[in-house]
Amino acid sequence: MMLKSALALDTAVHSMVEIFAWIEARRQATRYEVTPIPFSALKGWCFDPQTGNLQHESGRFFSIEGVRVRTDWGFVPEWDQPIICQPEVGFLGILCKRINGVLHFLLQTKIEPGNIGGIQIAPTLQATKSNYTQVHKGARPRYLEYFISPDDSKVHLDVLQSEQGSKYLRKRNRNIILEVDGDIPVEEDFCWMTLGQIGLLLKQDNLINMDTRTVISCISYGSYDRRSLELAKSVLFHDAAQANDQRHMLLSALDAERHLHTFAELISWITNMKCRYELEINRIPLNEVRCWRRDSTHIRHETGKYFSVMAVEATIESREVSSWCQPLVQSAQIGIIAFLIKEIKGVYHFLVQAKLEPGNMDIIELAPTVQCVNDNYRSSIPEQKPAYLDYVLQVKPEQIWYDTHQSEEGGRFYHEQNRSLIIEVEDDFPLDVPPTYAWMTLNQIKMFIHFNNYFNMEARSLVSAIGLW
Amino acid sequence: MMLKSALALDTAVHSMVEIFAWIEARRQATRYEVTPIPFSALKGWCFDPQTGNLQHESGRFFSIEGVRVRTDWGFVPEWDQPIICQPEVGFLGILCKRINGVLHFLLQTKIEPGNIGGIQIAPTLQATKSNYTQVHKGARPRYLEYFISPDDSKVHLDVLQSEQGSKYLRKRNRNIILEVDGDIPVEEDFCWMTLGQIGLLLKQDNLINMDTRTVISCISYGSYDRRSLELAKSVLFHDAAQANDQRHMLLSALDAERHLHTFAELISWITNMKCRYELEINRIPLNEVRCWRRDSTHIRHETGKYFSVMAVEATIESREVSSWCQPLVQSAQIGIIAFLIKEIKGVYHFLVQAKLEPGNMDIIELAPTVQCVNDNYRSSIPEQKPAYLDYVLQVKPEQIWYDTHQSEEGGRFYHEQNRSLIIEVEDDFPLDVPPTYAWMTLNQIKMFIHFNNYFNMEARSLVSAIGLW
């Protein structure tokens, strides 16, 4: 069923033209204003006099605290940094429904204060516990009731997935897709679309928000043996002209038999990485974080690198609350995330990296081939440069399958985006990779995502963008 | 291959008679003495003057510290307790080798100070990092080199698994099985045996140690569709008289198609449990642990319940170090762990419990149907009694598939054992179970174990005892 929806680009419900028109209409209809403000104007929030932690008066939502990190991974053995603490698990939920035999997903237009370009496309429900227990005294999130008591619904997936380990301390969200049967009310800022249509929107810069991307990335299309796949191929590609590269990505998603490494080998590799590297995290008061300075508008690293903490006042229509202040995290530069892919045994494999980040639940998570802030490495000595970064920056245009900018959660990050790339390497690209890297098929990636806490947010974001059509 | 070994009871290498004779010979040949001592005689260990934590002079091995636990799971919202802290990941490794076409596993006889009855059967390698970096200046553990650089070997499995969450703070071990090809030296306290033979030894009380049991529990026998299973059944059970109950357990291990719940449903259930229950763990100095008292020989709860910390002096031959002192944890009573099983859709299902324990890495782990210290509940008010405990204590003898005593790791626990039961329920036993319970096939259990940190030590211990022959 998921596969059928992923291959459906135009349906009886809405054409792509109609979907773009709906987005544009929503953009026109929604007014918003977001203004950076000094911390002194940050209503409802305060720096704790003892710890310097930046927190909400209610003690809910999230706080900015400090961590002291010690690790033998990478080139910096110890550092301090601010980090977002949000112990609550939030809901990222999408309702889906069979319409004319094809699964459609209910997405909404939504503005968050940190968004680039205002409106983005969000899941049906995007709610922290503070949201849905109505700490901010706003309206109850729409469609919440389906997710609180999913009795008449069919659960397609329901997994805990991590957020960015570089800036969140062990934060997780509950990624859910529920199928509903009967009629449900669809308000004007909501729209049904297929997975294939969502895939097309993912080719636009900064349109599908991070929360939608992570939920979509968890969808698996099933596992099949070679015989079944041959059958499907004969049926699908009876016209030889259609037998193009994408067919191979379909194979990578579905083929449970052809891969460079078995699951036992990949799990052993992950086990080895978790045993080899140590990560010691000590929470410290924000005012004891070394090398970071607070002025009237920002908390910044003294070099100006990495990221800063700032504050905004936001006035946004069509939200539970129309006006509020909050802190946001702002990256110093645009990041770059990229998967290198290579056909191995007739099936596309992705070059996955085991990456340690301070907020990880379990030392390392699996990341894209390249995940970094490019400018941080401009002046690096060569051996400290991230592997494959130079390669990614110099590929030929015809190697690039996917190249867009995708933004991070606008409820926490201010105008943060990553250049997101999927790049096919040349035939002579070596199969041998450094010890912290491994080749996996999309089918294997989906299986690891299914079992939680293996793939990081950046990797899942790229995985969501892989089109099967 | 694993399946063939699991079905092999007598092989050309050793008969069961020979294996029992070898164990008896080792028992005779090994001398040991373990004496409880007061803390004042605990050479090499001390109570930190500030925190009261009990630790080794080197700062290595393990320490006994305190935790303050807050949770909304169960009937006690907050408590303090001592806990074993051992941040190192240890190796639990078994070498295996094809002999006459059947995989044999290299196990050793070993005495740990807390063992009941002295000798138990241990993995090829059982080493903490302190062991193998030789902090205690003893000999290098035998066969270590195979596990440090497993180049010429085949990795059958290599996964991180938890230890008891009630007494260890987030402790994990690396469970490994490596296949070797060439000849390797086998010393007199080592012996090759098949999985089937290990299964027979698991029917003895306190013989196969916990470390062997957890590694064995991780072995998976593969997943098959119904057609392949029908074929295997026709071949294996051509003699109708053999077509007994065990055949169904084989189905439960191998059948990837018939089950009450899909993986998506089970993962959703686990996700829901992890979101529903909160676990807040704060490490505190041992001398601030409320309701626990230290005298000259024990650290005990003031009611005498739960467990105590004591000290022993051990003199044991055929170990790296022949004489040493160390603390051990002693349970107040014998525990009881039991899986209820039921045939559903023609395949045996296990009734699994989501259980919160303070040392868990991720709030809940999956546990046997019943896991408790029976005596703690003798006087409980009925609604606080663990579900199914009364049922387990009153079953008819013919319902019991398995009933032995198995002991916990003798390197940390003094004479600790659990009565371990596998019980088949009657036909009219309800499929409906409380929200923290779920039915799974053995095939599903093995898949979760494969992906780490789902099943707790107690459940894995029972899983290791399930015979397929």
What is the predicted pLDDT for the residue at B114? 96
Residues in chain B with CB shorter than 8 Å from the CB of A275 are: 89, 160, 174
pLDDT in tens, A19-41: 999 999 999 988 899 999 999 99
pLDDT in tens, B80-106: 999 999 988 999 999 999 999 999 999
What is the predicted pLDDT for the residue at A150? 73
Say which residues have a Cβ less than 8 Å from residue B343's Cβ, sequence separation at least 6.
B248, B349, B424
What is the predicted pLDDT for the residue at B140? 81
Residue B377 has pLDDT above 90, yes or no: no
Closest CA to B218 of B173, B256, B258, B251: B173
Closest CB to A155: pick one of B156, B160, B268.
B268
The pLDDT-based confidence of B117 (bands split at 50, 70, 90) is: confident
Residue A334 has pLDDT above 80, yes or no: yes
Q: Count of residues for chain A?
A: 469
d(CA B240, CA A210): 59
d(CA B407, CA B410): 8
pTM given for the model: 0.93
Q: Are B167 and B458 in contact (CB under 8 A)?
A: no
Query: Residues of chain A with pLDDT > 90: what percent?
Result: 76
Residues in chain A with CB shorter than 8 Å from the CB of B272 are: 158
Mean pLDDT of B310-317: 92
- When scoring B72, B155, B161 by the number of chain A Cβ atoms within 10 A, the one with the most, hence best to mutate, is B155
Query: Residues of chain B with pLDDT > 70: what percent?
Result: 93
Q: Are B185 and B83 in contact (CB under 8 A)?
A: no
What is the predicted pLDDT for the residue at B418? 95
| Residue B96 burial (10 A CB sphere; 0-12, 13-18, 19+) | buried
- From A359's Cα to the closest Cα of chain B, the distance in A is 15
Closest CB to A174: pick one of B174, B275, B453.
B275
| Residue B141 burial (10 A CB sphere; 0-12, 13-18, 19+) | buried
Mean pLDDT of A398-411: 95
Residues in chain A with CB shorter than 8 Å from the CB of B155 are: 264-265, 268
Q: Report the chain B residue with the minimal C-alpha distance to residue A274.
A: B160
- From B276's Cα to the closest Cα of chain A, the distance in A is 10
Q: What's B452's DSSP letter? A: S
Residue A201 has pLDDT above 90, yes or no: yes
Q: Are A441 and A263 in contact (CB under 8 A)?
A: no
d(CA B357, CA A160): 19
Residues in chain B with CB shorter than 8 Å from the CB of A360 are: none
d(CA B255, CA B250): 8
Closest CA to A44 of A32, A29, A33, A60: A60
Residues in chain B with CB shorter than 8 Å from the CB of A272 are: 158
- When scoring A451, A453, A454, A455 by the number of chain B Cβ atoms within 10 A, the one with the most, hence best to mutate, is A451
- From B77's Cα to the closest Cα of chain A, the distance in A is 19
- When scoring B261, B268, B278 by the number of chain A Cβ atoms within 10 A, the one with the most, hence best to mutate, is B268
Q: A352 pairs with which residues across the strands? A: A438
Mean pLDDT of B14-39: 94
The values of phi and psi at residue B288, to 5°, are: -105, 5
Residue A193 has pLDDT above 80, yes or no: yes
Q: Is B22 helix (H, G, I), strand (E, B) or coil?
A: helix
What is the predicted pLDDT for the residue at A312? 97
The pLDDT-based confidence of B10 (bands split at 50, 70, 90) is: confident
Which 3-state string (H, E, C) describes A230-262?
Answer: HHHHHHHCCCHHHCCHHHHHHHHHHECCCCCCC
pLDDT in tens, A339-352: 999 999 999 999 99
Mean pLDDT of A235-244: 59
What is the predicted pLDDT for the residue at A139? 72
- From A34's Cα to the closest Cα of chain B, the distance in A is 33
Q: Are A114 and A414 in contact (CB under 8 A)?
A: yes
The pLDDT-based confidence of A377 (bands split at 50, 70, 90) is: low
Say which residues have a Cβ less than 8 Å from residue B78's Cβ, sequence separation at least 6.
B68, B69, B70, B71
Closest CB to B267: pick one of A89, A158, A275.
A158
d(CA B91, CA B172): 10
* ipTM rounded to 2 decimals: 0.91
The residues of A whose Cβ lies within 8 A of any Cβ of B are: 89, 155-160, 174, 176, 263-265, 267-268, 271-272, 274-275, 361-362, 450-453
Find the range with the poorest average confidence among A100-109, A150-159, A450-459, B251-260.
A150-159
Residue A369 has pLDDT above 80, yes or no: yes
The values of phi and psi at residue B297, to 5°, are: -120, -20
Closest CB to A271: pick one of B158, B264, B267.
B158
The pLDDT-based confidence of A134 (bands split at 50, 70, 90) is: low
Closest CB to B271: pick one of A160, A268, A274.
A160
Interchain CB distance below 8 Å, A264 and B452: no
Closest CB to B174: pick one of A158, A271, A451.
A271
Closest CB to B264: pick one of A157, A265, A361.
A157
